[in-house]
Amino acid sequence: MTAEFFPTQVTIEDLVAQIFVSRRITPVNQYQLQTVLLTKDWLDEEEQTMLNRLFYGVRHGLLKLGE
């Protein structure tokens, strides 16, 4: 059985938490994040802060990209 991704069921908060737990942004995470962001009209302050923390983590080597 394959897992399907439904963007309406995944939140930015869930994705960011999953990424920080694994300390890695996988291609699946990237796709999910892109999909969720493209379906939103705007980001609230909390979501912006979470994304800024992701970018900070990548820039400072705290998060890895890829498998």
Q: Tell me if 64 sits within 8 A of 24, measured CB to CB.
A: yes
Q: For position 5, what pLDDT does the model report? A: 55
Unique residue bearing structure tokens 């800024």:
52
In a domain, 46, yes or no: yes
In a domain, 61, yes or no: yes
Q: For position 10, what pLDDT does the model report? A: 84
More confident residue, 10 or 1: 10
Reply yes or no on whether the pLDDT at 8 is more than 50: yes
In a domain, 19, yes or no: yes
Number of H helices, E strands in the chain: 3, 2
Q: What is the pLDDT of residues 9-66, one digit of tens each?
A: 789 999 999 999 999 999 999 999 999 999 989 999 999 999 999 999 999 999 999 8
The domain in which residue 27 lies consists of 9-65
Please tell me the total count of domains within the chain: 1
In a domain, 27, yes or no: yes
The helix/strand/coil state of 6 is: coil
More confident residue, 5 or 11: 11
In a domain, 55, yes or no: yes
How far, CA to CA in Å, does 60 sit from each of 21, 23, 26, 43? 16, 12, 17, 24
In a domain, 3, yes or no: no
User: How many Å apart are CA 37 and CA 23, to the nearest integer?
Assistant: 20
Q: For position 7, what pLDDT does the model report? A: 47
